[in-house]
Amino acid sequence: MSLSLKRLPLSQKPPATMPFYKIVIPTIDTVRNSTIVDVLVGIKRNTLIVGHTGTGKTVLAQTLLNKLPAGYAKLNVNFR
């Protein structure tokens, strides 16, 4: 384990079995964006997530979809 992982609080350490590509490091921007989207979805407002490449739009949408309660249909569509 690297020195930097030893400094993390237990709540922030990824499980040893978690694949690298699934690890998400919360930053000020990701926490702010997910909070805003959570509030908008909570009050049933349509939400469009836009931004430059690599800003976490897909991760934000997938995280939100994974948190939806049972009874919701989930569909990811990629446009290329």
Check residue 45 and give its pLDDT: 92
Closest CA to 57 of 25, 23, 80, 34: 34
Q: Taking a C-beta distance cutoff of 8 angstroms, is the pair 35, 61 a contact?
A: no
Domain spans in the chain, listed from the N-terminal domain onward: 18-80
pLDDT 10s digits, 20-47: 888 888 889 888 999 999 999 889 899 9
CA nearest neighbour of 76 among 62, 63, 66, 64: 62
Quickly count: other Cβ atoms within 10 Å of residue 19's Cβ: 7
3-state secondary structure 64-77: HHHHCCCCCCCCCC
Give me the pLDDT at residue 18, please. 87
